[in-house]
Amino acid sequence: MKSTAIYPGTFDPITYGHIDVIKKSLKIFDRVVVAAAENINKDYLFSIDERVEIIKDSLFKDLKLNKSKIVVIPFNTLTIKLCNQFKASVIIRGLRAVSDFEYEFQLAGMNKKLNEKIETIFMMSDVENQIISSKFVKEIAKLDGKIDKFLTKSIVRKLKDKLEWKKYIYLYYFSFSFLINYIRRILW
Give DSSP secondary structure letters for 47-106.
-HHHHHHHHHIIIIIIS---TTTEEEEEE-S-HHHHHHHHT--EEEEEE-SHHHHHHHHH
**Which residue among the candidates 58, 134, 138, 158 is catalytic per the annotation?**
134
| Domain boundary assignment for the chain | 4-132
Residues of the chain with pLDDT under 50: none
Instruction: Give residue 95's pLDDT.
Output: 87
Report the phi/psi class of residue 165: left, alpha or beta, with left for phi > 0 and alpha for psi in -120 to 50.
Answer: alpha
Q: What is residue 176's predicted lDDT score, i.e. its pLDDT? A: 56
Task: Give the pLDDT confidence score for residue 40 in this predicted structure.
Answer: 73
| Cβ-contact 162, 51 below 8 angstroms | no
Dmax (CA) of the chain:
75
Sheet holding 70-75, edge to edge: 70-75, 31-37, 4-9, 90-95, 119-124
Q: What are the distances in angstroms from CA 185 to CA 51, 159, 182?
A: 43, 39, 5
Determine whether 177 is an active site residue: no
The verdict on whether 51 is a catalytic residue reads: no
Q: Name the active-site residue from 18, 24, 31, 158.
A: 18
> What is the pLDDT at residue 182?
59
Res 125: pLDDT: 86
- Which of 2, 27, 42, 113 is catalytic? The answer is 42
Residues 99-111 have pLDDT tens digits of 778 889 999 999 9
User: Smallest Cα–Cα separation from 60: which of 49, 74, 75, 70?
Assistant: 70
Instruction: Give the other-Cβ count within 10 Å of 125's Cβ.
Output: 22
Active site residue 18: yes
> Exactly one of 23, 96, 112, 162 is catalytic; which is it?
96
For residue 184, indicate whether it is catalytic: no
CATH topology of domain 4-132: Rossmann fold (3.40.50)
Q: What per-residue confidence (pLDDT) applies to 5?
A: 98
